[in-house]
């Protein structure tokens, strides 16, 4: 993916998250100089399998697993510092050298204990199906201008003022929820005082560093979390996350100009999954849903929750292609479909007698949508050892060709297993040497 024309690449999820972005970033990071996470928080979970070891990364970019690659957490992320250091310590215990390779934007906002408290007690959070990690309340404080940023830790008096304002707001919310729990200002300030000596040495102007890296012709990979259909503006609102998950959020969340982005790779599963509530037009039911969930090990890396599973929805991915400006597509977990006799692909929705071929913004219409399917014969043999396009069964190639035509983005990668080497890369897909 990185060449003379593509030096800055965004990787986004083009469904409802959990598409396998961690593996793609891990594969691409081998040729990158920088990997930067640009939005979300510890509610994300990117799983990377290296040999017999599995790494689950919640905030640290997946590129940290490649020696020599520098990683950064951008200003668009709401950072949970306690979780961050736990993650760092686990990586070090597993032999990953983090020292001098991880940077945190001084402009990034912090997730504090009272954010998690509000998230846990909020009926709205439970209805939407959030992870309960305090992400939404932290973004709310950011927008309300009472958030605590990393750079504020250099000014203890300012920290206390901000925490007092944030705690007062949180306690007002908790009282309205009927909860007896309350935020404690002194405890929160003491926590930040304890974490500051370790966090501040990581802090820098990430936007400036990445701008300079791009000007110096470095290969920069911008890593998103969640998926396009969870975007606060373009997702299935209100069943969305609290940040901009699409490629437009990458420039904002890192601190660079949109014109510095060269390409956008969208990652999708060969089927569809979703965690939590909200519409999923192609959702499977009964034994088939259980079978796909089992075959794909569809349980959240962060929460452990079972994912809802459905057939591939080309309406969703074509929409994601448009709002992200996808220049390429990576299809993951093709191998999960290996044993199925028949496979469906959604080409449109019928809603109250009307055919939709473009994704509607009305969540009520989506709840009533009946998917229109094209059916394909399954290939009924393993794809796990495929390393070239011609290694795939004819039926699998026919299925991928139809996806590519419907979503209007070229497929550049196909993943056929969890390991690093179980992937058909761009050279194989284009027939290049």
Instruction: State the burial class of residue 262 (Cβ atoms within 10 Å of its Cβ: 0-12, 13-18, 19+).
Output: middle
Residue 368 has what DSSP assignment? T
Is 142 designated active site? yes
The answer to whether the annotation marks 149 as part of a ligand binding site is no
Biggest CA–CA distance in the chain, Å, is: 66
- Residue 126 sits at the vertex; the CA angle it makes with 38 and 124, to the nearest 5 degrees, is 85
The answer to whether the annotation marks 353 as part of a ligand binding site is no
The answer to whether the annotation marks 289 as part of a ligand binding site is no
The answer to whether the annotation marks 335 as part of a ligand binding site is yes
The answer to whether the annotation marks 268 as part of a ligand binding site is no
The answer to whether the annotation marks 23 as part of a ligand binding site is yes
Is 18 designated active site? yes
Is 126 designated active site? no
Active-site residue, selected from the candidate residues 26, 33, 46, 58: 46
Local structure of 342: helix, strand or coil: strand
User: Is there a contact between 210 and 32 (Cβ–Cβ < 8 Å)?
Assistant: no
The answer to whether the annotation marks 211 as part of a ligand binding site is no
Active-site residue, selected from the candidate residues 18, 26, 231, 313: 18
Active-site residue, selected from the candidate residues 109, 142, 169, 234: 142
The answer to whether the annotation marks 54 as part of a ligand binding site is no
What's the residue count for the chain?
433
The answer to whether the annotation marks 18 as part of a ligand binding site is yes
The answer to whether the annotation marks 302 as part of a ligand binding site is yes
The DSSP annotation for 118-140 comes to: HHHH-HHHHHHT--SSSHHHHHH
In this structure, what are the phi and psi dihedrals at residue 56, rounded to the nearest 5 degrees? Answer: -110, 115
The answer to whether the annotation marks 230 as part of a ligand binding site is no
Token code pair at residue 72: 């950064």
Query: Which residues partner with 48 through β-bridges?
Result: 55
In this structure, what are the phi and psi dihedrals at residue 224, rounded to the nearest 5 degrees? Answer: -95, 170
The answer to whether the annotation marks 46 as part of a ligand binding site is yes
Residue numbers belonging to the annotated binding site for GTP: 17-23, 45-47, 307, 333-335, 415-417
Instruction: Supply the residues annotated as catalytic.
Output: 18, 46, 142
Residue ranges of the annotated binding site for Mg(2+) are: 18, 45
Q: Which residues are annotated as a binding site for substrate?
A: 301-307
Q: Binding site for IMP: residue ranges?
A: 18-21, 43-46, 131, 145, 226, 241, 305
Binding-site positions read 17-23, 43-47, 131, 145, 226, 241, 301-307, 333-335, 415-417
């Amino acid at each position: 993916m990185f060449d003379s024309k593509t030096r800055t690449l965004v990787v986004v999820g083009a469904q409802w998250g959990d598409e396998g972005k961690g593996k793609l970033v891990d594969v691409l990071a081998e040729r990158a100089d920088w990997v930067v996470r640009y939005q979300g928080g510890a509610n994300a979970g990117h799983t990377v399998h290296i040999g017999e070891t599995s790494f689950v990364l919640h905030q640290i970019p997946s590129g940290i697993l490649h020696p020599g690659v520098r990683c950064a957490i951008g200003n668009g992320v709401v950072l949970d510092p306690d979780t961050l250091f736990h993650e760092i310590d686990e990586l070090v215990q597993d032999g990953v050298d983090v020292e001098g390779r991880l940077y945190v934007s001084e402009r990034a906002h912090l997730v504090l204990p009272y954010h998690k408290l509000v998230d846990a007690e909020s009926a709205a959070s439970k209805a939407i199906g959030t992870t309960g990690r305090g992400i939404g309340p932290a973004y709310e404080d950011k927008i309300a201008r009472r958030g605590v940023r990393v750079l504020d830790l250099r000014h203890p008096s300012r920290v206390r003022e901000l925490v007092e304002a944030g705690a007062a707001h949180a306690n007002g919310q908790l009282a309205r929820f009927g909860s007896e729990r309350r935020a404690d200002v002194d405890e929160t300030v003491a926590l930040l005082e304890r974490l500051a000596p370790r966090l501040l040495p990581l802090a820098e102007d990430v936007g400036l560093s990445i701008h300079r890296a791009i000007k110096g012709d470095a290969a920069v990979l911008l890593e998103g979390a969640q998926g396009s259909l969870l975007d606060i503006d373009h997702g299935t609102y209100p069943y969305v996350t609290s940040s901009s998950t699409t490629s437009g959020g990458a420039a904002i969340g890192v601190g660079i100009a949109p014109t510095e982005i060269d390409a956008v790779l969208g990652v999708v599963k060969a089927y569809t999954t979703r965690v939590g509530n909200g519409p999923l037009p192609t959702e499977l039911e009964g034994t088939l849903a259980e079978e796909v969930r089992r075959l794909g090990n569809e349980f959240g890396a962060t929460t452990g929750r079972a994912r809802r599973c459905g057939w591939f929805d080309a309406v969703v991915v074509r929409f994601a292609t448009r709002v992200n400006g996808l220049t390429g597509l990576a299809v993951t977990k093709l191998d999960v479909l290996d044993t199925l006799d028949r496979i469906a692909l959604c080409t449109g929705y019928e809603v109250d007698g009307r055919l939709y071929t473009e994704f509607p913004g009305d969540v009520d219409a989506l709840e009533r949508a009946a998917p229109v399917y094209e059916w394909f014969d399954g290939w009924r043999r393993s794809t796990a050892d495929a390393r070239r396009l011609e290694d795939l069964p004819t039926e699998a190639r026919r299925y991928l060709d139809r996806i590519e035509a419907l979503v209007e983005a070229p497929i550049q990668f196909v993943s056929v297993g969890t390991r690093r080497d179980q992937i058909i890369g761009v050279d194989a897909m284009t027939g290049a040497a």
